Amino acid sequence: MRCPYCGCEESKVVDSRPTDEGERIRRRRECFNCQKRFTTYEVIETTPIMVVKRDNSREPYNRQKLTKGIMRACEKRPISLDQIDMIVDRVESRIQNTLDREVPSERIGEYTMEELKNVDEVAYVRFACVYRQFQDIHTFMDELKRLIEDK
């Protein structure tokens, strides 16, 4: 594993533990060269999932892309990185459980919104604004009304 700080390929595992869902192993490593610590995750290799975009193009599923979108929605909200990782883990688990090799991006967005709704309503609305491409204040208000009615 290459150190993200100095690029050295030699490191030692300092701590190793499973994540909450038991799907991944979190490893704390220490670089032999610069002595800085960093975290890696070990996951079971699965069949690659292709995401079918709205324009029918296809691209490989990218965990980092989903994480970045969720982080944008959660900006300046009281949501930890661990909570964001758990949201992504649950969305990925649902994707894997469908057993489909191609998953529409709409389904990933819906799964993500369901998870965000349970964690933080403001982050949910922010994500929905981008995901559902709200065109005006009326569609935004309709979503807020649905959120209030669900409570």
- 97-106 pLDDT tens trace: 888 889 999 9
Q: What is the mean pLDDT of residues 30-44?
A: 93
| Mean of pLDDT over the chain | 90
Lowest mean pLDDT among 22-36, 52-66, 126-140: 126-140
Buried-state track 1-28, b at ≥16 Cβ within 10 A, e below 16? eebeeeeeeebeeeeeeebeeeebeebe
Say what the pLDDT of residue 99 is: 80
